[in-house]
Amino acid sequence: MKRLKTQVRRALRTALLLHGGIAGAALPAPPLMEGAKAVAVGQSMRINGMPTSIHRFAIDKPVDQVLAFYRTRFGKDRVEQSVLGWTVVAEAEGDYFFTVRLRPALQGTEGAVSVADLKQGLAARGRPLGMVFPAGSRLISDVDMDDPGKRGRVVSLINNLPPEANVQHFKNVLAARGFRVDRDLPAGKDAAGGRSLWFSATGRDAILVVAPLPNGTSVVLNTVDRRNTEK
């Protein structure tokens, strides 16, 4: 599972780099403590169909003070827990869900705050995925990112098929959409660590990362469409 999370994080970073700037979305402004310096990671993003904005921030105040701010901001109905060294605070307000994660930095506190539209997320449940997955696959995440004239998507899944079977499946899926293979490289130090394939088509790019897991295979497919048309 650790390898799967690493593959997904790498693919998401690649998606943001390929996709460029992300357009603004009709979501509430993120709740930020006065003095925080924030940078938008995603402002027009859909995670499993749920419109979401994400901002990273840094502030020259200790974690205890920042946490106190969010405890007051979110009130008694908040959810709070520790996850892998981060303190995570979350709360639903009407149609929106706010999540903040915090941890100490060299100078103060670093963190991220996300705002998600619960109403639209619920409306998108069960939406068609627009592509056929290998038999027995389980969807882990489906992230869409929009920019004028450009659309990016990162889909991650796991299944019990061998890595090569997944590679061949998605090569066929992408070939049917007009893609050709540009590069086929080991995803790790050697072929045993999986494969990373780069595809291209007119106005489009795709990256497929397939990696073995202890019990199955992880797959991350990142596509970028610069034709400003529906996929």
Question: pLDDT tens for residues 10-51?
Answer: 554 444 444 433 434 478 889 999 999 999 886 577 888 888
Helix residue ranges, H only, the chain? 2-19, 63-74, 118-123, 163-176
What CA–CA distance (Å, rounded) separates 137 from 230?
A: 24
Q: Per residue in 115-161, pLDDT tens? A: 998 887 776 666 666 889 999 999 888 888 876 677 888 999 999 99
Strands (E), 2-85: 37-47, 50-59, 79-83
What CA–CA distance (Å, rounded) separates 119 from 163?
A: 37
| ∠ Cα 144 148 150 (to 5°) | 50
DSSP 8-state assignment for residue 193: G
What CA–CA distance (Å, rounded) separates 167 from 20?
A: 27
The pLDDT score that the predictor gives to residue 202 is 93
The pLDDT score that the predictor gives to residue 89 is 95
Q: Which residue has the higher pLDDT, 48 or 65?
A: 65
Report CA-CA distances (Å) from 73 to 46, 92, 99, 121, 156. Answer: 25, 12, 12, 24, 34
Confidence label for 208 from pLDDT (cuts 50, 70 and 90): very high
DSSP 8-state assignment for residue 76: T
What CA–CA distance (Å, rounded) separates 225 from 206?
A: 9
Q: Are 154 and 11 in contact (CB under 8 A)?
A: yes
Q: Are 219 and 166 in contact (CB under 8 A)?
A: yes
Query: Count of H helices and E strands in the chain?
Result: 4, 12
The pLDDT score that the predictor gives to residue 33 is 95
